[in-house]
Amino acid sequence: MRVAALYDIHGNLPALDAVLAELPDVDAIVVGGDVVPGPLGRETLDRIAGLDGVHYVMGNGDRESAEEFPEVAGWPATVTLDVDGLGPVLFCHGSPRSDTETITVLTGEDRLAPMLEGVQERVIVGGHTHRQFDRTLLGRRIVNAGSVGLPYEGVAGAFWALLGPGVELRRTAYDVEAAVERLTAAGGPAVQYLEESLVNPADPDEVARHFEGLTIEG
Ligand SMILES: [Mn+2]
């Protein structure tokens, strides 16, 4: 099958709609966690609920929002799908064993190894750190699908991945200015991150160092 991986939407409905508008014909959509929290959380969950072939993966943000959005409570921590050209692919949020653990462009084999214990799949797709990559480590292909709604790529847009037969890291351009205006007006959680993600995008390498605990905070 061919799969679109849409991760870390964070209630950015305009970004999701832009991706859906240019989505090619796929057999499944993996929504890889952290649909919420975000400014248009309810509307975003409702939009996804209207799509065909959706597989959900639970993110830490969804888990922490389960009181407000009860439907997320049943989402699994991981999903495995047999993807054309790639074989069995494990979809998780942070790492295969945790929805909060971070894997970045800087993660080394020592830190990664325990996260892969017991994992059979050769290809692993995650998110959570909001930056795309496609790395080979410890004989596994480790892909980050990027973030649809709150990317840390150094450039604005909606980031996602198309899987099968290869791995295609995609960026969808949309009217970010109009989206930020709408999201800010909606208010609520994650609004404070719009500036560093979409308005004046932060340096992605600085963000990666932060996730690796390498940032020296004064
Ligand atoms: Mn997350």
pLDDT tops 60 at residue 67: yes
**94 CA from centroid of ligand 1 (Å):** 7
Asked if the peptide bond before residue 204 counts as cis, ω within 30 degrees of 0, the response is no
Give residue-wise pLDDT tens across range 158-188. 999 999 999 999 999 999 999 999 999 999 8
> Which residues neighbour 120 within 8 Å (Cβ) at sequence distance 6 or greater?
88
| Average pLDDT value for residue range 125-151 | 98
The residue among 31, 10, 47, 56 whose CA lies nearest residue 186 is 10
**76 CA from centroid of ligand 1 (Å):** 14
**122 CA from centroid of ligand 1 (Å):** 22
CA distance 97 to 134: 19
| Average pLDDT value for residue range 149-160 | 98
Q: What is the DSSP letter of 199?
A: I
H or E element, residue 117: none
Structure token digits, residue 188: 């609520």
pLDDT tops 60 at residue 218: no
**34 CA from centroid of ligand 1 (Å):** 5
Phi, then psi, of 95 in degrees rounded to 5: -135, 170
**102 CA from centroid of ligand 1 (Å):** 9
Coil, strand or helix at 87: strand
Q: Are 123 and 113 in contact (CB under 8 A)?
A: no
- Check residue 214 and give its pLDDT: 76
* Single pTM value for the model: 0.96
CA distance 76 to 25: 25
pLDDT tops 70 at residue 198: yes
pLDDT tops 90 at residue 216: no
CA distance 131 to 143: 10
**63 CA from centroid of ligand 1 (Å):** 10
Angle CA 8–12–15, to nearest 5: 90
Coil, strand or helix at 10: coil
Q: Domains in the chain and their CATH numbers? A: 3-213 (3.60.21.10)
- Check residue 93 and give its pLDDT: 98
**218 CA from centroid of ligand 1 (Å):** 25
Name the band, by pLDDT with cuts 50, 70 and 90, for residue 215.
low
Structure token digits, residue 142: 């480790």
**8 CA from centroid of ligand 1 (Å):** 7
Phi, then psi, of 215 in degrees rounded to 5: -75, 130
- Check residue 4 and give its pLDDT: 98
CA distance 209 to 186: 31
Could you tell me what percent of the chain has a pLDDT over 90? 97
Structure token digits, residue 166: 């290869």
**161 CA from centroid of ligand 1 (Å):** 17
